[in-house]
A and B are shown apart, each in its own frame.
Chain A
Amino acid sequence: MARHNLNTVIGFEFFRTVKKRRFWIATLAIPVALALVFALIVISNESTSTTAEAQKNARLSFAYTDDSGLITETLAATFGGTKATDGVQAIADVKAGTVDAYFVFPADPATQPVRVYGVDKGIFLNGTYDAVAKQILVVAAQQKIGSPRLTALAQGDVRTKSQTYKNGQVSGGLNAVIPPMLFLLIFYVSIILLASQMLGSTLEEKENRVTEMILTTLNPTTLIVGKVMSLFIVGLMQMLIFALPVVIGYLFFRSNLNLPDLDLSHLALEPAPMIVGALLLLGGFTLFTGTLVAIGAVMPTAKEAGTYFGTLMALIWVPFYIVSLIVSDPHALIVQIFTYFPFSAPVTAMLRNGFGSLTLLESVVVIAELFILGFIALRLAVHLFRYGSIEYSKKLSIRYALRRRNHA
């Protein structure tokens, strides 16, 4: 009967959610917005490409003086420049619009600025002067060095290929960080998508005065577990719908969208961080779900629950204020506090798990803490719903509800 009722609750809650027009408007708004952004990017890229082509073909006419002695007249001519003999006249020519710009190359361009006088062509096109002046100096320096290799080295155009070891084994580096971090992403998306619905899940019974009918028909644990599971299914569906335009965009419009060609084969799926990440996700989800449902059971209306809801939501973002410390000094006191404080623990521990600084012992402690507290929160939520939701229009006294014991 309990299993039958659980399925009934899941089915009822799921279908009543997905049957609502409001749900589809909210759900489709994001992919539609993404599709619009992608379309704008494609159009913009085409326009940028056309503009770049036009700029490439458009020649800049400029005058210059060079106190450094690095720039040859031949080099300047290839960029459209002619040497000026009178700086004041050159500026007057710019003002008159007979040349586009006048560049004054100083004696020591490494320490002194190149002064540029140009016709105003708008914020974006004015940048061309700066780019051309710099490029002339770069090419002039390359010509002085006389070797493309040395020029590249001088420009710091150097690649390195690292291999690091952890416990005597080759570590995955950044490729090993990304996969466990996916759990953090899923945690954020699921909490953001589902939190307000979790909060409202038991409020609805109170606001509709349907609590007594429910409590005499159905075990409250079955009701709450059914609601949470249906919300999770709804959240999964929403995530898939949100991801769909990204996947389509990547697979079919990658070049138009200037998306990088991701080579997923380089990602290192290390079992331990993946398992720990998955358990932290589940534990964190359980804790937040239980807490939100408990808040809903105590508060008479969604409006009054909002204050506590906001505080709880803020806690999942707090660890990002110390993310640099989490990466650089995971044993700092504040990082340790955030690792073990229940409502900041999921995010902090998942970050540390991704960066490889969460020890096995710490993982076990945090996972156990999240599951134990999550279970307690869910039990409390059920208890508060059972003995609290009958207080339809007033806030439940938790102490009063907890005093109520089971029948002897």
Chain B
Amino acid sequence: MTAQTPNLVPEDLLLPTGTFRSEALESFVRVRWFIRLRWVAVVASFILVSLELWLYEAGPGRRAVLGVIAALALINLCWMAWSKRLRVQAAARPADETQLRQHIVLFAKAQIATDLLLLTLVLHYYGPVSNPMAMFYVFHMVITSLLLTPTTALLQGIWAMALYGLLLLGEYSGVLATPYPLFGGQALADLHTNPHLVVKSYAVVCIGVFATWHLTSQVAAALDERERQIRTRDQALERSYRKIEEMHVRRARFMHTAAHQLKSPLTGIQTMAKMIHDGIVDSEGALDLIEKVIRRCKEAIRHIEELLTLARIKESPSTRHRVARTDLANTVATVVERHRPMADLKGITVHWEVSPQTIRVQVDARDLEDCLGNLLDNAVKYTPDSGRVEVSCVCEADQVIIRIRDNGPGIDPEVQKSIFDEFRRGHYALAAGIAGSGLGLSIVREIVEQADGSVTVKSPVNQAEETAPGSEFEVRFPAWSADEPQGRA
């Protein structure tokens, strides 16, 4: 029951970083974005090469390019099958999504690595030196950096540049066959043997690839962070909204029940007055009814007072308790003395003691009086004639413990669970015809929660068969100081 300060964004709601990347990657797989793009590349390449074959003289290099395009189409069919499998797995909403996410990442890595290999092959057949098609390495780097982690993207970049470097070196050294220039440009046929051009080409593409990797990874990281913040706020808002909604329902229910509590004595008054008016009872009966009407008026006033107390406590800022230095001994004495006449009327002994080291508590003085007053009021009300009520206060560590014990009829375990709820009344109270609104213990709970304390109930407290079961309420409040020797017994 200890009150806690709610965090605006609870730790358990914080999302791990990389959310934007993984979500984007999943959506790319779901819409088969990679595969569609590759089909576009296959069709465009096929048209271009066919156009070239038609316009220029056909050679072995061109046919090899057609072979690469065919390989790309075949591989894409494999990717389609893999993608379908992943989408089926994702649609099944597995309990543990980690494995699915790992598969998706592996799928993306495999596709990009294969694409880079095929791109290098195409470059080989069209001549890698000063070839504008090398910009497709940069294009792949943008996609990789956006969708995968920076480390994975860097490794893909290294893989691409290793392939490109080996291609340039192989052609320069003559290990690989001479490249075939684009669109029959025979004048470019010897570029691969020019060391300056080879080094410059490689350097420019490398700079382009790694600069793109760096910049895109930075942008993706920023997007990740923004996504995480938005989602976290979104969830916090959703939680707040639910809390507000629950609060509205509770408030409406409270208002309705409170209205009923106020209406109840009035309806009784009206019914009884009408009975007198209609002559349903004789003059003696009418006198009896008038007495009941007076009693119910008092009851209604008491209900209103308790509702006002509860409203005052709920509306007051809880900070009032932090600055409070209420003298416990004085408050207990005041409350006990206030209930003494009622206890004396029933022959009940009220014994109280305050530990000498218990001094001040961090509870507003008026609230502490209300809290202890309600508990003592209940104890005296429910304790039979000639019974005993004990109030004890001790200080333990930084807490003050107040126990109010009676030898009354006790409280059913079932009732104990909801005893602090508003308008809750025990069966014994009803059976014994003890008046009450069912708000007293709600007031106690509200005060205790606001003051960072706790309240518990224990019943039965007397095990001996010949004695009444009794009950004990234990209230804990933060102590302000336990050093000053003060208090009385």
Q: A and B, one complex? A: no
Q: Which residues of A contact B (CB under 8 A)?
A: none
